[in-house]
Structure 1
Amino acid sequence: MIEVKVLGTGCANCKATQKLIEKVCSDNAIPISIEKIEDTAQIMSYGIMSTPGVVVDGKIAHAGGIPDAKTVLSWFKSQCCPTDNDCC
C-alpha cells in the first residue's frame, strides 16, 4: 500500500487535491493509504512552504496549487506497475 499525505490547513485547494488523488487512485485500482495533515508545524517539518503539499511514501511529490490528474498518476506509476509503466 502506498502512503500518501496531503499537507494543508484545510483550504479548498487542499480538499480538492485530496479528492483528486483519491479519484485517480480509485479509477486506476492503485491501493493507497491517505492521511490529511493540517498542523502547521508538521507541514513545515516537510519543508513545504506552499500548500497543498503531497508526500508519497515519504518523498515530497508536490507543493502549491492543485495538480492535474496526469501528474497525480505519474506519482504512482512506478509503485503500481514496476515492470510496465503503461499499465495504469
Structure 2
Amino acid sequence: MVGTAEDVADYLQEWFEAGAADSFVIVADQLSDALSDFVNQIIPVLQERGLRPENYMGNTLRGNIRLKIVDSYRTFDSLLSIYF
C-alpha cells in the first residue's frame, strides 16, 4: 500500500472495525526501510487512535492476551494419562 501514515492507518482501521481482520502480518523487503517506516510512522498513528497498545501489561504472549497461566507439567502429565 502506498500513501501517508494516516492513509495506511485508515485502511487498517477500516478492516479492523468492519470485523474483516483482527490482526495483520506486516512483511517488508529486506532491502527497503519499509518495516522501520511502518514502526516509526504508522504504529504511532494506530496508538493515538487506540488501535494498538502503547505498552503491554504481561511479560509473555499468554499474559498479554490475558490467558490463564497453566502449570505446564500438570498439563503434560494429564495428556500422557489420556494416551498411555
What TM-score does the superposition give when structure 1 sets the normalisation length? 0.22
Say which structure is richer in strand: 1
What TM-score does the superposition give when structure 2 sets the normalisation length? 0.23
Say which structure is richer in helix: 2
Task: Select the structure with the greater relative contact order (CA < 8 A; seq sep ≥ 6).
Answer: 1
